[in-house]
Amino acid sequence: MAKGRLTRWRGGLLVPWIARRMVPEGRTSLARAGPRLDGLAFSGTIAISRIMSDSSPFSPAAGPSAAGPDAGTVYLVGAGPGDPDLLTVRAARLIATADVIVHDGLVGDGVLALAPAGAELISVAKKRDRHSVPQEGINALLVEHAKAGRDVVRLKGGDPFIFGRGGEELEACRVAGIMVEVVPGISAAMGCAAAANLPLTHRDVASAVTFVAGQCKGLSDQNWAGLAGAGRTLVIYMGVATADDIADKLMADGLSPDTPVVVLENGTLPEQRALRTLLADLGDMVHREDVRSPAVIVVGNVAGLADASDRLGNRAGGLQMLDILRGKEGLS
């Protein structure tokens, strides 16, 4: 670390002490007072990235001079799995002070309601095989507004760096010389699992967990061998439309057809559902129950620990499910 740039831990974050000295408590920068949410004052760190040198490992972009001193900042913000109460404090504060909010379709009205009256809200909702704005257009949109001097919140469901294309948008802003800050969010996997009381790891059941995307190019060519099975949990994002193919792929890779799976639909929201079946029945169950996105699929013995409805197809199937779950190691 450069001489004279003392740092210390404060509030769990490593920040330049000189920046903390320059930004008074309760202010987000030297020029403006920080917002208050629910009566709480926040000691912001927006000015820190502008004070730090380009060579700092914590510098979020190429430097403020690249796009001009009046350029705004792009904040890649995770909106969490849906429930506004699960936003981070940092995310809520940035939403409440944004000039522009570019949001995904999975960001609900409860989250967007936190935006200030004067903010411009731009939807770039994406659905399977149909994007209202292509990714290149989103990248250009962020850069355009930031160069015009606006602070832009790019609001994404879950976490921006877990199947959220946050890395692509970060790179585009860096190339344009735009300052970027990434604000993590509760991922869909963690939020939906918690809402169903489903531990993704458990000392007696699973010591490893893997996240994969079920709606990506070349699904059949991807090697998932070893990602699911005894002692492991596999969480599949965006897998509803390809549930049949996913089940076939996992069984072809050697996973037992009677492996428990649970589908978590609209997790953390009032209309959430947790539907459990066996791997061989996954595709059929998705069709029978008319499961819709957003949903994640959890494959592995931990599925037996979830607060879920058993949907194997009929009463006999439900009894079979109970027998299988009781016989699984760690679930007796």
Task: Identify whether 54 is a catalytic site residue.
Answer: no
- Among the listed residues 125, 298, 271, 129, the one whose alpha carbon sits nearest the alpha carbon of residue 201: 298
Angle subtended at Cα 234 by Cα 230 and Cα 237, rounded to the nearest 5 degrees: 170
pLDDT higher than threshold 80 for residue 134: yes
Instruction: Give the pLDDT of residue 126.
Output: 75
pLDDT in tens, 262-288: 999 999 999 999 999 999 999 999 999
Using the structure block, give the residue that is written with the tokens 């004052």: 41
From the list 83, 99, 104, 151, the catalytic residue is 104
pLDDT in tens, 194-205: 999 999 999 999
Adjacency order of strands within the sheet including 152-156: 120-123, 100-103, 152-156, 73-78, 179-183
Provide the sign of the torsion angle of the four alpha carbons 111, 269, 296, 209, taken in this order: positive
Residues 6+ apart with CB under 8 A from 287: none
- Among the listed residues 82, 122, 81, 80, the one whose alpha carbon sits nearest the alpha carbon of residue 98: 122
Burial class (CB in 10 A: 0-12, 13-18, 19+), 268: buried
From the list 126, 245, 249, 284, the catalytic residue is 126
Q: Which long-range contacts (CB under 8 A, 24 or more apart) does 168-175 make?
A: 168/135, 168/139, 169/74, 169/76, 169/138, 169/139, 169/142, 170/76, 172/139, 172/140, 172/142, 172/143, 173/61, 173/74, 173/139, 173/142, 173/143, 173/146, 174/61, 174/62
Residues in the chain: 332
pLDDT higher than threshold 70 for residue 36: no
pLDDT higher than threshold 70 for residue 14: no
Residue 305's SS3 state is helix
Phi-psi region of 301 (alpha: psi -120 to 50; beta: other; left: phi over 0): alpha
Domain locations along the chain? 10-51, 63-186, 189-327
Residue type, 89: V
Q: Assign a CATH topology to domain 189-327.
A: 3.30.950
DSSP 175: H
The torsion of the CA quartet 304, 305, 309, 311, rounded to 10 degrees, works out to -10
Same fold, 63-186 and 189-327: no
Report how far residue 28's alpha carbon sits from residue 280's, in angstroms, rounded to the nearest whole number.
54
Q: How many CB atoms lie within 10 A of CB 289?
A: 15
Angle subtended at Cα 110 by Cα 137 and Cα 101, rounded to the nearest 5 degrees: 25
pLDDT in tens, 142-161: 999 999 999 999 999 999 99
Token pair in block for residue 151: 């602070």
pLDDT in tens, 88-129: 999 999 999 999 999 999 898 999 999 999 999 999 987 655
Task: Identify whether 245 is a catalytic site residue.
Answer: no
Class of domain 63-186: alpha beta
pLDDT higher than threshold 80 for residue 313: no
- Among the listed residues 228, 308, 202, 224, the one whose alpha carbon sits nearest the alpha carbon of residue 265: 308
Report how far residue 239's alpha carbon sits from residue 216's, in angstroms, rounded to the nearest whole number.
9
